[in-house]
Amino acid sequence: MRIDIMTLFPEMIEAVMRESIIGRAQDKGLVEVRATNIRDYALDKHRKADDAPYGGGRGQVMLAEPLYLCHQALCGGEKVHTVFLSAQGKPFDQQKARDLLAKERFILVCGHYEGIDQRFIDECVDEEISIGDFVLTGGEIPAMAVADAVCRMVPGVLPDEDAFTAESHWDGLLEHPHYTRPENWRGRAVPEVLLSGHHLNIESWRREMSLRRTKADRPDLFAQFTPADKRDRKLLDKIEQPDG
């Protein structure tokens, strides 16, 4: 898996993506996350990458030509799926992370200031993605979030597939609660079922807690959930009971 990130602040990307799990995955050659400085493709000695917007208004807009030249250099004459991190983009979710994983290589473009010249978007961008209905100072944090979400699913990055398939959003549900030592912390005890050693009961409890948590905290997700088997239907019946 290779991800190229076009940015005005490559040091910001490298400082995060070279640490922890993703950093170790890069050291092992499982993934490659490259940050490329758009200013390296500026057309003047001052490495200018932005200018005032046509039509007036506040702020600066990133220039199309340095973006284009940077993009072309990364593509090397090939077609590479390109994503612009944008507040106007479609919401990023686990399914989109899986879609990007299947591409094996893609480019993330980080905007800054008031945005980037629309003509570069029209010419080079395949899709726009947003990580939420809020605005940040630049696309670097969203780009790192997308890269992390995709890279962790690459085989070998995490210990096994269950490390991500059992987590929130993989099957449309939120994840169950987690507990560790001590058994009693400030008067709060670990649920007895987790101490029982009965794996089927533990699995059933975790599934039930996942369903309950999703229903309480994300009713929008719960409304779209389709039971996977008879066990799910039985648990849903239990949850829907007045005293459930």
Examine the domain organization and report whether 40 and 145 are in the same domain: yes
Domain end among 118, 151, 184: 151
The answer to whether residue 157 is domain-embedded is: no
Mean pLDDT is lowest, of 42-56, 58-72, 106-120, 230-244, for 230-244
**Given its phi and psi angles, is residue 43 left (phi above 0), alpha (psi -120 to 50 degrees) or beta?**
alpha
Examine the domain organization and report whether 125 and 30 are in the same domain: yes
Note the pLDDT of residue 23: 97
The answer to whether residue 59 is domain-embedded is: yes
Q: Does 163 score more than 60 pLDDT?
A: no
Examine the domain organization and report whether 227 and 175 are in the same domain: yes
Note the pLDDT of residue 209: 96
Q: Does 171 score more than 90 pLDDT?
A: no
User: Does residue 138 or residue 113 have the better pLDDT?
Assistant: 138
Note the pLDDT of residue 57: 87
Note the pLDDT of residue 165: 47
Query: CA-CA distance, 190 to 18, in Å (whole number)?
Result: 36
Examine the domain organization and report whether 185 and 128 are in the same domain: no
> pLDDT tens-digit profile of 132-158?
999 999 999 999 999 999 999 999 999
Examine the domain organization and report whether 28 and 92 are in the same domain: yes
Token pair 């039985």 is at which residue? 234
Peptide bond into 182 cis (omega under 30): yes
How many domains is the chain built from?
A: 2
Query: CA-CA distance, 227 to 244, in Å (whole number)?
Result: 18
CATH code of residue 76: 3.40.1280.10
The answer to whether residue 60 is domain-embedded is: yes
Examine the domain organization and report whether 41 and 140 are in the same domain: yes
The answer to whether residue 213 is domain-embedded is: yes
- For residue 20, count CB atoms less than 10 angstroms from its CB and return exposed for 0-12, middle for 13-18, buried for 19 or more: exposed
> pLDDT tens-digit profile of 3-28?
999 999 999 999 999 999 999 999 99
Examine the domain organization and report whether 27 and 95 are in the same domain: yes
The answer to whether residue 146 is domain-embedded is: yes
Examine the domain organization and report whether 87 and 186 are in the same domain: no
Domain residues for the domain of 29 are 2-151
Domain end among 105, 122, 151: 151
Examine the domain organization and report whether 180 and 230 are in the same domain: yes
Note the pLDDT of residue 186: 96
Q: Does 71 score more than 80 pLDDT?
A: yes
Examine the domain organization and report whether 113 and 210 are in the same domain: no
Q: Does 243 score more than 80 pLDDT?
A: no
> pLDDT tens-digit profile of 22-62?
999 999 999 999 999 999 999 988 999 999 999 998 899 99
The answer to whether residue 67 is domain-embedded is: yes
Distance between start and end Cα atoms, the chain: 45
Whole-number Cα distances in Å, 237 to 203, 215, 240, 242? 17, 13, 5, 10
CATH code of residue 196: 1.10.1270.20
The answer to whether residue 118 is domain-embedded is: yes
Query: CA-CA distance, 244 to 230, in Å (whole number)?
Result: 18
Examine the domain organization and report whether 130 and 182 are in the same domain: no
What is the chain's mean pLDDT, rounded? 93
**Which SS3 state, helix, strand or coil, does residue 70 take?**
helix
Examine the domain organization and report whether 86 and 176 are in the same domain: no
The answer to whether residue 156 is domain-embedded is: no
